[in-house]
Structures are given as C-alpha cells and as structure tokens.
Structure 1
C-alpha cells in the first residue's frame, strides 16, 4: 500500500502548469489560486478514488472567456479554462467559484478520461467540490421528483434551472455523494465506463434497513418491550419529526393559505381555505411547513426540541425546514431514537398527541380497513422517496396511553402496512400484562434536598411542555421536578441519598408533588418516622404496574418463589389501586405504612402470572406481613413505651390485632383504672418491633416484648403461604375470606 508521504509526493508531482496571458488579472494571484485549488481537488480525488492517475496532467491555460452566456461565469475544454472577470484586477468570490468549478472538470479530463462524455457525472463532481452546493441550498425548496424531471429535460445540465436541480439531488445525501465515490473508484481502476451516471443512481436514498424494523417502548418505564430488526440503525425519517417542529415553536403556529399550484401543498382533498398546524400535522402538508419557514416565524432546528433529538441520535442539525421535515434525506434517526423522542413528546405535549389521534379519522391513515383500530392512538406517518417519487422507506409512529411504537418498512407507503401497527400493540399487551401506569409516592422518609439522581441515557425535565437537559452525573433531583416532570430516556434513573450511597434504579418518571399537611388523630401516639410516612412524599414516581409490583415483592421478600410469590404479587398490584385508606387523594406510598418499594428490579415470571390474572374480588386495602412462627424477644425503654400508651399502664395483653391495657386515672381525688386499646400496628411500628407482640413484661426501666414471626399479623401471612403448598387462589381465599 502506498504510504501517505508517497501519495503526497505523487500529488505534488501531478500539479499542472497554469498559463496566463494577461487578460485576467492579477496573473500571479490567479495562478496561485489555481494551484491551491488543484491541490485541494486532487486531495479529494485521492480520498474518494483511493489513488492518483499514473500520468502527468496537461498544462492548463487560464484566460478571459469570449462569448459566454450571461448565466455563466466560466467554461472550459481540456487544457483551457475561460473565466468572466467583472472588475479588472479583482479576483472576486464569483470568479473563484467559477475557477474551482472549471478546474474540477479539468481534473476529471485528466484523471478519468473514460467519463469525458458523461455530462451528469462531470457536473455533479464539479458542483460537489466547488463549494456551490451551499449557495444553491438557499434557493426555494424543490422536491426530489421535480429535480429529477428537470434533469431529464436537460441532460446537459447547461442552464441555471438544471444546475439547481442537480444541486437538489446532491444535497439529498450528507457529505460527499456516495454515488460519486463509487464512480471515482471506477475511474482509478480504469474500468470501462459502460453506463453513464443516472439521476436515480446519484439520488439513491441510502436506506440501510435490510429488513423491517419495529420497536415498542413503555411510556411509563421507558423499557423496550418488543423489538424486531435493527432498531439502532439511523435512517432517513420522512415526515415523522413534523410534530417536533410545532412543539419547538415559541409562538402559536400560523394559519396559512394553501397554494394549489405548489406540489408540496398536495395533502388530501378539500383543504380548507386556511390551514392550521393541526390540519398540517394529520395530513402531513409539506407546503404548510415550507411556507411557515418562508414567513420567518418557524423555529430553527426544532427549537428546544433539537437538543432532545440530538441526544437520541439525530445525525445532525437541520439547515432548513426541508431537512427538518424529511423532504431531503440528509439527516437520519434510528427507530429506537424516534421512539424515545416521542416518549418525551407525549409527556410534554398531550395536546399534540390529541391532534395526532385524528390521523386515522381525517389524516394520512384515514379510510383504511385498519383505521378504526387506531381509536385512541396518536399516529404520525412518514415516507422517504427516491428520485422517481417511489417509496424507499415508510414510517408509522403510534402512541397510546401506555406504549410508543415505531414501525419502519422499506419500500412501502405507510398506508400499505397500517394494519401492522395495531397488531403489534395488541401483541405486546398479549405477551405481557401490567403495562398500565402505576403511581407511587417515593422516598418519603428522605429529606428532598439530599436526594440525587443520575440518568445514564439522556435526562430531561419538562416545564410547561418545554424540555430542559439535566446535567450528566448525579445532581439534585428536587429542582428538576419543582415545576414539572423528569424523564430519563434510554435508561433507568439511578437515585442515591446518604442512607443509600450506592443508589437504586428507578425506571420511570418523577414528578414533584408536595403532599397536604398531615395531622395525626388526637390522642394517638405516633413516632416521627411514622408521622413522616403518613404525611407522604414530595416525589411521585410513575412506572408500569408490573414493574411496581415486582419492586414491592422484591423489597418484601426477594427469596419468595412459586405460588406464594404469585399470591403476594396479586395483593401488591391490588393495593396499588386501592390506596385511599392509606393516603386519601394520593397514590400509594413506598414505606411500610403502605407497601415497601425500593426501586426497579428484574421482573420474575411469578409477577407476570399475577398481573395476567383477573382482578381480586375485594374492594379495599388488603394487609399482608412476613408472618411466620420464628420466636423473637426485644426490649424497649419503659419511658418510650409509656409515651405511646400513657403512664401507669397495667394489664397489657394482645388480641385480635390490638393492644389492650388498663391505665390509672385520677379525678377529684378518686383513683380508678380505665380499659383502653389501640391498633397493635401503631405500637409495633413506633417501637420498630418485628411483629405485634404476644406478651409484654414491664420492668423498672425496660419493657420486654416476646412474639413470633414478623409484621402486623393481619391478612396474608407470607411465611405461612410458603409452607402451605397451596395454589395462589387458595392462599388468597384463606387469607382474606370474610
């Protein structure tokens, strides 16, 4: 292989001699500009073709052009470049661009003589390397199909309209056009130039998905529930990012008048006289977005949503609206990245989801056999087309109350596979139950200001529908949920605080929601921890019911298996929906006052079985405890016990889940005993006893408690369930039969 130094020597040796004759001035500067340009062009050729020709280039004469068309600033033939100089002695930018363009032709005549008659190849290469593409890109939008038609009418590419069309085709592919690279390698191999370059070859949209790609995410936990094909391959995205343009607008999108003569305004029959963004979204009206940009009020690069799309893999920043709405295939995004972005959009802009829910009724998915199956589903379609306006790649994004699905199908229009999307959503739900939302008050025993969170993916907070990136690494959680929600795209949250420095995983969405003040009932003893638990938490967490159930079961008894685990999981899932007795008007909490939840864990088959079972028949909170018969003995300071039960307590006994006792009272000189009782759970939780005691012995300074098992002893006894050998249904009937 030729080393870099050798290639450099070869390049320097291949620089032609540039001849001037005094009619384009200053001559020395012109020759220097030509030499510099040639070296840059040859470097590009070497990079793309893989080498340099083995022959020396001819001398090239640089002279003033004679008889050139007014629209041209340069022309040439092998060995001669003619230039138009507006002001003698000045090499302005227009002349320099023309010089670069014409020298590109000279390089091809030298390096690739077999292509001399391929006018499209020559012009495409010259436009690609001369720096003219950016200028042409500023002209009004032209569709790929209309550009292809223009080039078919003018194959010599010798008019401004044809060159504009060619620039449009070249701008379809980011970077140096792949078709030109292939042809330059053909030049270097000295292969026969049997077939001229075609517009179809030049404009070929590089859809890299060899097979269909499908991904389904949970809106709540963010986990990938189903995938098929290469969901991480970035591809042209068609119209699927139009909702992000609307979301990124700081002002209300305008009402625009359709222009019937403009092909981009062809978006369904009977357009109203004025079109708003809602209609433009469901009908996917390209003309609306292009004219919005023309007014100067459209957001640039998706506004604040540009950072979100970049974070999930958008290949670059759109330079204009045609890039943003996928009319040019210069940018790419993977199905996985698109699903992540829509997950956040659905959280931030439910109003846009409501608009997109009309796609099947009056938009791009209407009047199809599958349209009714999209009831309650927000949908956005996208199509990537080739130069002949044939579909190269179709997209459908679907969002319902629990799921985000992205389906990409090469070679198909979205309407051709619209029936697949509802089937995919149904398939995911059939495979796994418990995908609906579960809400829980979390971290209620931890001071909010010491809680930190880290997102290994891309973390964003949402305030009034606007995303704001959360810094990498651990950061205080409270500020990011004070006015909205915090979402981690691509991974669970990792949450830590002083008592859990290693952290816990939380796959879901955090919201700030301070609880109402809590005042304990008069005369009821309560510890500070219990008071805080009954108050509730400043943080609400949303995940799937399945993930929540698995987390609680693991926190209560990670070793539990089989029918006993199924039984407990059914109780946990039931209680999440019947938490009113614990926190009226608030979700279930994550402490022992409700059900302990310490974050996200791996779901076990028993939890999946439990969530697939019918709902339990009871309509109230179902208590459970670890239970068992293992004996225990604990002592507590007498003063602590009397602070809960009162001084002068005698005759303490435990029965029916309550603690009964006599308390001595004095009134008007009389002394008498009063029988009182309270739930044993209040005493147990305040004193942090393993279970409700069976006996209590009062000493001078301490009280000794003895008992068996763990927990309050009501409802489902987990240890007894383990030992029973019964099926889950029988375990539950035995525990809660009235």
Structure 2
C-alpha cells in the first residue's frame, strides 16, 4: 500500500470530535484531538501491520464534573471527560491527558477483544501519550520493585501503578515489543483469551512467583475463587499428563526399567505397568518409553489446540516437554483450570481414574487423603538443577468445581490439605451445584446460532474440536457431544430475539425429548404444544445462575423479601420439573429463562435459606391488579373451545362455556368446562379473564393483573412487606387467603 493510500485510510477512519463549550477554546481542543488521533493511529498502523478497520463515528469531549482529585481525565467509549483548571488554556497537562484517553478510545474501537485487558490498555496509553518522561522523574526504581508494585496495585491507572508501568516500558528501546505483538493480534482479529502479563510487558521474568489458587465452576465456567496471580504462566511439571493420556489411542503395558531414574515411581511398582497406574503414580519413565515404542501421541495430540488457546507458551518438542520434565513450557493456573473443565466434559473416564489418586496415587497416605476421596486430582512438581522443588501443582475436579493450586518451593504432598479447604471455601457460595434446563424449544432448531467470545470447543467421541469463531448453528455444535465455551459465556441468537444475542454461561448438549401428546379433550395451541414437548437443547449452568436468570426474566426490578420468595420458588421448581424424567423447560409452561445474567445478592441469599417444605411444582405469576382489555378473533377462540360458541364465563379458575351442537335434526346447547389457564396460554392473554363479550367476529376479554393468578403473586409479594417465609406460606400453605377483588 502506498503512502497516499495509507493517508486516505487514516483520514477515513478519523472520528468526528464533538465539544460542549465547557472546555475552551473549542476549536483548538478539536484540532488537538484530531492531531492526537492521527499520531496514535499512525503508530497503530505501523505496529499492527495495518490501519484499524473501523473507528467511532464521533467522540464527545467535555468537562469532567465528577473527576477525583488525582485524575486529569477519564472516559468510556465515545466520551472523554477532561479537567481544565484555567478556562481558555489548553496546558500541557490537559493535552497529555487528552492523548491518554484517546489511546483508550482507539483501542476500544480498533481492538474490541482487548476491552477487558486493563494492563494492555493502560500500557498503550502511557507509552503513546507523552507522559513517560514525567513518570520517570523521582527516585530510582528497580525493575523487580516496579513489577511488584504494579502487580499489587488495585488499579492500573493510579499514580503509583503508572509510575511502575513507566519503569517497565522504559526497559525497551523504541515501541515495546510486547505491545507490538498484541497490536498485531488486534489487527488479525484473534481472540484475546490471555491478558497481557507484567512479565510479557517487561519481556523478561522480573518477579518471583507467589502462591496462586483458582476455583472454576464446571457448569458455568465462572471463576468462583481467585487468589494470587492465577493468570501468570509457569512451568507445570506432570500436571498435564492426563491430556497426553487422553490424546492416546493405545495405552501399552510396559515393563519398568529399574535402573532408570524416571521409573522411580514409588514402592511396590508392579512388574508390568499399565497407563492407569503410570498416570496415578506419575511415572515419567512410562511416558518416555511409550514415546519410544512409537504409539504415543505427538505432544498433546487433539488437546494441543485447547492448551495453546488457553495460553500454553509453546509446542512440546517431545514427550519430555509435554510431561514437564523440562521447564521449557508454561501455563497459567487459570488456563489449567479451564483445560481440566473441558477434560471433565469430554473424558469423564479420565476424571474417574484420577479420583483414585488420593487412595493409590501421588496423594495417598496423607492426612488430607480421606478428605480427597472421590475428588479427581493430579499433581506436578517443577524441579531445579539440584532437584529442589521450584513449583508444586495440584489440579482437582469434583462434581461441580475445578481447583488448581500452585505453590512455589513446595512439593504437592506438602500442601494437599489446601485443596479440600479451597473446595469448601468455594462451596460457601450458594448454588454452585448444577442446574439443567431445556432451552429454546419454541425456536426452530435450525434457526438457533451460537458464538463463543472466549475459546469454544465441541466434544466429538471424547476429543475436543475447535468451534467456529463466527456464529454457527447450535445444532451442529451439539449433535456429537457437549459444546463448551472457555473463558466466556456462549452468546446465542435467533430470529425475533435480541440482535446481539443472549448470554448463556454454561454447557449445551443435544437431547431430543420424546413426542408429546396432550391429554384427550384438552385443546392446545401450536406454541403450547411446543412448550409442553420440551427442547432438543439442554443447557447446564449453576443453580444460582439459573435462579437469577429466571427471576430477571420475571421481574428485573424485584428486590428484598419478594425477590427472596420468588428465587426460593424458582430454585425449588428446578428440582421438581414439569417434564417427567427431563430437565425443567425455559417457557412459561415451566418458568421463563432467557439466559444467564448478573447475579444479585438476594438470589444467593435465597439459596442459602432452608429448602421449601413442599414436594411438588409451585405455581407463580406476576399477578397484580392492573386492569386490561384485549380482543381475539372468534375463530381463534373456537379453535381452542370448539365451533358454535354461544357464551362463556369465568369462575374458580375455570372457564364455563356453551357450544351449539347438532345431533340429527336437533340443535341444542352443550355446557363445557376447561381450566382457564389453558385458554389464557392458548390465546396469550395477560391473565385469566374475568369477563368476555362478543363483538361481531371478535371476543373482548377483560381482566386484571398478569399470569394465571395461582400460587405466588409477585406483585402482591412486592406490596406485602412480609418476610419471604410468610409470603410463601400465604401463597402455598394452609393459611392461603381466598382470592378477593381489590380495587
């Protein structure tokens, strides 16, 4: 591309800067912003290998009225707020602050995948705003001290953190290589799974690693507990051996070589060692001899793309690299936990094997062994040249959680007791167990698409396969096995749904339901038939995520005791499905669920309260007393009730109606009765009507409130000021009040 073409591209990508008259002179401010943007974009183009593919349409520049004293500016996409101490004067401090915020604006639009990487954003802004010389002033700061202060800083944009960041950036002559690599990643549109690290930025390991522990939900993928630098890549020892085992098509039985150090796998080693024993005892010799025999997978086989996507720092050259005998490769605790989450989904047999580790493997005969019974564990030790432990690793998987712990200078057996403690600590959070729900049953299967913003994989015959980066049919992702999105929720879209899709933090599987046949004589609309059938897609998440999603779908504004009451009912119903032998559905036939949302504190509190005493499905509805009037074509009503409709009235939750019928030469009226809920749902009325009248070819229905009116009335609960126990007792207990008319 010639220089003229580059200039043309840059000019077309420059945004419009809008001023509000509160930072002056406005024309100078706009010119300063345009010049600053052009300079930033020029660096981006040179380092990324091309100009940004898009730019914001406009950026508003205005005075910041709520800036904290230590800030000269702040912003969010499309808006920059500035501090101007002297009206009419654009001093150097303001110009630097403007360029700093414009750097963030450029990345938000040119590299949206990095929007959550605060260190990358701040490093780019500090490097290009012209503020580096000012931060370098003051007492000398060693590289290791700067790295430690930056790691400990609660926010990377504080003065202390920026000074430390400037010290790291000063280590490189010219533009930092780490930022160049990341900008190329931006331009290529690559996923941003692993954030920029301090060591990567400094281009050298400058800090001794500290202890790190991460706990991840097997169901939703959420990080439930994070202590230490869980995103820092470290040599991993033997903890990745299960992935070598899982990649193997054949697992030979081998004779140990007693004179070889790598076969020193504990006392009582049998004369013939199979792969299961080798994995539990972490026998390096077995894996090396397996490679020599020629039947071992190369590297991590089908699991290599998974580990690479999660931050593995390279490709193993041989088995010694793969099983961690050499410390040439590294992976973070977070990446390790995500990998084990997928392993548990794809290869439950491997996880079941590792559950014996506390009984007859590397964690046997310890005080903590009894507490680890039934928990799948794998250990790893990274040693120095003198065989001293540099890092000890333990990965653990139970029915709901994945734990990865790294301890510098310790053998895994020295901190095994910390694994049950970490599991117990994570379980103090309510609702970490699994919830399953049939989803999207009202949408044609072929119209449902999904996309993973993190790293998506499908499971096929026990092996992971990378999911497409772009939107793909959910049916295609799930028909061979589970679909798992690592590091982010699935985003799901379908026609007539939100254009941007909905978040589903969890695992999708394909599970077609049996055919549904409505009871004889019960009229059912096509949509009701779909709802009662269930769905081909089953979604698994945590019970807390599911409960929050249903409560948000019912009433996003609900809070306090009313929210507690509804959340308890929702969690109860998840265990008492209306679909015998199958998960609860996501339609109003069960309880509406429109994906996972931000969990509210009251939802977690509700799940910590005692389980409800009832043993059946509990009905609830929005309720209330707001009047409504709606019309429906007579033909639609008669499609549900029968032709020849003469009259209808409503009482005690049922519709009583008359039909004109003929029998031979006789014509007579026949009385019928039907549950009002069937009429309401079939005609999609807000609630069970109170009256109905004929108006030519239409029927006019009038009623109050929303929903079927049975069980918990959410609006009444909001107005009651009662505790959740009293609300629930009134809705479902013996003391439930009789329905009454409220004006």
Common fold by TM > 0.5: yes
Deviations 1:557-607 (A, max 9, x none): 00111000010000001111101xx22221111111111100010000110
Question: Is the contact between residue 544 and residue 603 of structure 2 (CA under 8 Å) also seen in structure 1?
Answer: yes
SS of match in other structure, 1:330: coil
| Other-structure match for 1:486 | 483
1:339-488 aligned at under 5 Å gives the runs 339-430=337-428, 432-488=429-485
Deviations 1:602-624 (A, max 9, x none): 00011001111111111110000
Deviations 1:93-144 (A, max 9, x none): xxxxxxxxxxxxxxxxxxxxxxxxxxxxxxxxxxxxxxxxxxxxxxxxxxxx
| Other-structure match for 1:129 | none
Q: How far apart, CA to CA, are the structure 2 residues paired with 1:397 and 1:458? A: 20
CA deviation after TM superposition for structure 1 residue 384, in Å: 0.4
Q: How far apart, CA to CA, are the structure 2 residues paired with 1:532 and 1:346? A: 33
| Other-structure match for 2:585 | 589
| Other-structure match for 2:166 | none
CA deviation after TM superposition for structure 1 residue 209, in Å: 5.1
CA deviation after TM superposition for structure 1 residue 207, in Å: 9.9
Q: Any gaps of 5 or more consecutive residues in structure 2?
A: 1-203, 735-743
CA deviation after TM superposition for structure 1 residue 377, in Å: 0.5
Question: Is the contact between residue 258 and residue 265 of structure 1 (CA under 8 Å) also seen in structure 2?
Answer: yes
SS of match in other structure, 1:313: coil
CA deviation after TM superposition for structure 1 residue 640, in Å: 1.1
2:234 pairs with 1:238 = no
| Other-structure match for 1:640 | 636
Q: How far apart, CA to CA, are the structure 1 residues paired with 2:399 and 2:638? A: 52
1:97-112 aligned at under 5 Å gives the runs none
CA deviation after TM superposition for structure 1 residue 657, in Å: 1.5
1:290-305 aligned at under 5 Å gives the runs 290-305=288-303
Question: Is the contact between residue 208 and residue 233 of structure 1 (CA under 8 Å) also seen in structure 2?
Answer: no
Q: How far apart, CA to CA, are the structure 1 residues paired with 2:607 and 2:279? A: 37
Q: Runs of at least 4 residues of structure 1 off by over 6 A?
A: none
Q: Closer, same or farther in 2 for the Cα pair 1:715/1:278, shift >3 Å?
A: same
Question: Is the contact between residue 250 and residue 295 of structure 2 (CA under 8 Å) also seen in structure 1?
Answer: no
Residue of 513, 516, 519 corresponding to 1:518: 516
SS of match in other structure, 2:679: helix
Residue of 284, 287, 307 corresponding to 1:286: 284
| Other-structure match for 1:702 | 698
Deviations 1:437-468 (A, max 9, x none): 11111111111111111111110000111110
1:74-473 aligned at under 5 Å gives the runs 210-249=209-248, 251-430=249-428, 432-473=429-470
CA deviation after TM superposition for structure 1 residue 206, in Å: 7.0
Q: Any gaps of 5 or more consecutive residues in structure 1?
A: 1-204
Aligned length: 530
Which shifted more, 493-502 or 588-597? 493-502
SS of match in other structure, 2:358: helix
Q: How far apart, CA to CA, are the structure 1 residues paired with 2:647 and 2:636? A: 18
Question: Is the contact between residue 455 and residue 493 of structure 1 (CA under 8 Å) also seen in structure 2?
Answer: yes
Deviations 1:50-80 (A, max 9, x none): xxxxxxxxxxxxxxxxxxxxxxxxxxxxxxx
Deviations 1:195-231 (A, max 9, x none): xxxxxxxxxx979553210000000000000000011
Question: Is the contact between residue 459 and residue 469 of structure 1 (CA under 8 Å) also seen in structure 2?
Answer: yes
2:661 pairs with 1:662 = no
SS of match in other structure, 2:729: helix
CA deviation after TM superposition for structure 1 residue 700, in Å: 2.4
SS of match in other structure, 1:418: coil
| Other-structure match for 1:629 | 625
Q: Closer, same or farther in 2 for the Cα pair 1:416/1:374, shift >3 Å?
A: same
Q: TM-score, normalised by structure 1?
A: 0.71
Which shifted more, 606-615 or 221-230? 606-615
SS of match in other structure, 2:239: coil
Q: How far apart, CA to CA, are the structure 2 residues paired with 1:312 and 1:736? A: 49
Question: Is the contact between residue 207 and residue 235 of structure 1 (CA under 8 Å) also seen in structure 2?
Answer: no
CA deviation after TM superposition for structure 1 residue 715, in Å: 0.3
| Other-structure match for 2:572 | 574
Larger radius of gyration: 1
Question: Is the contact between residue 207 and residue 410 of structure 1 (CA under 8 Å) also seen in structure 2?
Answer: no
Q: TM-score, normalised by structure 2?
A: 0.70
Deviations 1:459-489 (A, max 9, x none): 0000111110012121222111111110000
Q: How far apart, CA to CA, are the structure 2 residues paired with 1:207 and 1:393? A: 17
Deviations 1:160-194 (A, max 9, x none): xxxxxxxxxxxxxxxxxxxxxxxxxxxxxxxxxxx
Question: Is the contact between residue 207 and residue 392 of structure 1 (CA under 8 Å) also seen in structure 2?
Answer: no
